[in-house]
Chain A
């Protein structure tokens, strides 16, 4: 392994990671700088249960009509984000636990997941370019973030066998992109995962207190059928 790749896999990553952490802390401080609003009416339900339901909705594709109607979109979402997790894991495994990638089935597993994420990314880019509404709302950041993720997944798929002796290009591309991401992410839409817990928590807290979430079926002594017909009707 060349000294350049070694430095890129280690010191450069750590410096960039520290930068990411610093900007995240600043970002969180920025969010908490704003005053928080709250519902002051007497609760009908549990805010925390609502928040839990809201945060868990990512794993409940049946809970949201928009997702129910687009199962393929959800599958893409799952692969895309599993790919993110796998690729990030690989950036730690390669420098700190390279032995793991000596097992062929683990390498193949990572390549399949990240490869599927790559395919999902390409499909998402096609969707963004071909859908008129999406085109009209898309900014350079939307395209760049997606294109960078696609490149990251491709580099990850190629780099994961971790054979620098056979050529370092894929590894340099993968870790180069990782370093760039760590610096760029806090300023891009990719940062949405930092906001996600907040948006979902706040919405869930409000709707939970109001008894909207979790869905009300069967609550307050009612036992309506799924389609709401004939529930409790006197015989």
Chain B
């Protein structure tokens, strides 16, 4: 007797809405929940109505043409790692995911869908169950890597549509628990990991002492809130919580390069969950914290540590969310390192990194941020055996942990199955180290390496530059 197996997408789509952490936040009187900045789920039967009102209010020209421009050619399916990993599951195709929100757009806004909905597949959501399904698709089956967007012959920004849908659902509290929790932390503490100011300052002091001991000089510092520096350095809270070495490595390299720098007491988090949740207000709040810190401290530029979505949010999207034009220049720390190496400010020996290294382009940095060459130029100088993975640059596959997926445990099993594409790509390089300039990718790739038993380790560019330094 044959046994039918439900498509893997159903394991994600059918997950119920869990609001326990939202209830906890209400009980604990979380500030952002109390003042309404972070929405919680209201089971009053009016969510569809609210959703449609938000859809109309938030629509813009770029989204409208992406909603209407799709011709259902299906080529995006070849670009998506979910679709490639599950070729027999049509719901994994980017177009199928986008159609879940597109059909609502067509029924509610587009005239063809209003005149003849059945003809173009237009349909309104009926109840909160429909919205919950949409939540599971847009949060659980897409890492927002934008590979489909760059491979769409029509130029439809499918990833943009997915983020738009996420934003509408976030405003209704119909979100995965992880998204809610991290958003809460970022709203209330100014950083996504809820790091207190005391912990932040103590960690910086600890790293400063470590570097001083290593270099044998007290002239090295990790300044905080120092005015008039060459640059303001903003980091990923993961560096404080789990990887403070990267701050020490940065401090050492900055010292050797001889530029003045500072970190801000407030506004130091370059990451931004607004990018993942689609919440532009959160995006504006977090990004503006860093922009304001640079202005307040009269920094000449902002340097963003190795974080993919942090770079994209701080360098590009944040200004749009905050509704302000960029006044202080900003760049990735990898671009800074590249310049210093070119200028001969840092002396390095590639022989100190003898293991074969490959480079993983972060989606947010390559496809949405325009940086592909500088990291390669840096690695070429500090590694003895660099091997390109295929495909690479803007065509690279996602680490599979993008889009905030690492914070959403309920989608992990399917995410790791979809990661087979990434695992094969990594394995084919024969490298022992996979270098990335993104903290999110570190965790995403580490998950993939562990799950598929690959003989590799993930490193960052700062780490390799530090190892290659000739003091």
Give chain A's interface residues, CB within 8 Å of chain B. Answer: 30-32, 34-42, 44-45, 54, 57-58, 64-67, 69-70, 73, 77, 131-142, 144, 187-189, 191-192, 195-196, 198-200, 202-204, 207, 210-212, 215-217, 219-222, 224, 227-234
Most chain A CB within a 10 A radius of its CB, from B320, B372, B387, B394: B372
Is B395 an interface residue, CB under 8 A from the partner? yes
Is B155 a contact partner of A199 (Cβ separation < 8 A)? yes
Is B373 a contact partner of A220 (Cβ separation < 8 A)? yes
Nearest-CB residue, chain A, relative to B71? A192
Is B65 an interface residue, CB under 8 A from the partner? yes
Is B90 a contact partner of A136 (Cβ separation < 8 A)? yes
Expressed in whole angstroms, the minimum distance between the Cβ of B327 and any Cβ of chain A is 9
Is B355 an interface residue, CB under 8 A from the partner? no
Q: A189-B72, A233-B350 are in contact. Are A34 and B64 (CB under 8 A)?
A: yes
Is A65 a contact partner of B391 (Cβ separation < 8 A)? yes
Is B369 a contact partner of A210 (Cβ separation < 8 A)? yes
Is B368 a contact partner of A210 (Cβ separation < 8 A)? yes
Is B354 an interface residue, CB under 8 A from the partner? no
Is B329 a contact partner of A42 (Cβ separation < 8 A)? yes
A-B pairs, top 3 by smallest CB distance, nearest first, are A211-B370, A136-B90, A40-B319
Q: Give every chain A residue within 8 A of B75 (Cβ-Cβ).
A: 66-67, 70, 73
Expressed in whole angstroms, the minimum distance between the Cβ of A61 and any Cβ of chain B is 10
Expressed in whole angstroms, the minimum distance between the Cβ of A26 and any Cβ of chain B is 9
Q: A66-B78, A229-B386, A231-B377 are in contact. Are A31 and B121 (CB under 8 A)?
A: no
How many chain B residues touch A (CB < 8 A): the figure is 79
Is B316 a contact partner of A210 (Cβ separation < 8 A)? yes
Is A132 a contact partner of B88 (Cβ separation < 8 A)? yes
Q: Give every chain A residue within 8 A of B395 (Cβ-Cβ).
A: 65
Expressed in whole angstroms, the minimum distance between the Cβ of B9 and any Cβ of chain A is 11
Is B409 an interface residue, CB under 8 A from the partner? no
Is B388 a contact partner of A64 (Cβ separation < 8 A)? no
Is B64 a contact partner of A31 (Cβ separation < 8 A)? yes
**Chain B, interface SS category:** helix
Contact of B61 among A36, A77, A135, A207 (CB under 8 A): A36
Is B2 an interface residue, CB under 8 A from the partner? no
Contact of B72 among A39, A134, A144 (CB under 8 A): A134
Is B76 an interface residue, CB under 8 A from the partner? yes
Bound complex: CA of A232 vs CA of B93, how far in Å?
40
Most chain B CB within a 10 A radius of its CB, from A67, A138, A141: A141
Expressed in whole angstroms, the minimum distance between the Cβ of B338 and any Cβ of chain A is 8
Can you list 29 A-B contacts (CB < 8 A)?
A32-B61, A34-B63, A36-B61, A38-B320, A40-B320, A42-B326, A44-B370, A64-B151, A67-B153, A70-B78, A134-B72, A136-B90, A137-B90, A141-B112, A141-B119, A144-B119, A192-B71, A195-B68, A198-B65, A199-B65, A202-B157, A204-B155, A216-B373, A220-B373, A220-B374, A228-B376, A228-B388, A229-B388, A232-B381
Expressed in whole angstroms, the minimum distance between the Cβ of B60 and any Cβ of chain A is 5
Q: A39-B316, A137-B96, A203-B149 are in contact. Are A216 and B61 (CB under 8 A)?
A: no
Is A40 a contact partner of B325 (Cβ separation < 8 A)? yes
Expressed in whole angstroms, the minimum distance between the Cβ of B38 and any Cβ of chain A is 23
Expressed in whole angstroms, the minimum distance between the Cβ of B256 and any Cβ of chain A is 18
Q: Give every chain B residue within 8 A of A69 (Cβ-Cβ).
A: 78
20 more CB-based (< 8 A) A-B contacts, given A188-B112, A192-B69: A31-B61, A34-B64, A36-B62, A39-B320, A42-B326, A66-B76, A66-B79, A70-B78, A133-B83, A136-B90, A189-B72, A192-B154, A196-B154, A199-B155, A199-B157, A210-B369, A212-B369, A222-B374, A224-B380, A227-B388
Contact of B394 among A67, A192, A212 (CB under 8 A): A212
Nearest-CB residue, chain B, relative to A226? B388
Q: A37-B62, A202-B65, A230-B380 are in contact. Are A137 and B93 (CB under 8 A)?
A: yes
Is B93 a contact partner of A133 (Cβ separation < 8 A)? yes
Bound complex: CA of A45 vs CA of B111, how far in Å?
37
Is B320 a contact partner of A199 (Cβ separation < 8 A)? no
Is A138 a contact partner of B72 (Cβ separation < 8 A)? yes
Contact of A139 among B119, B326, B373, B393 (CB under 8 A): B119
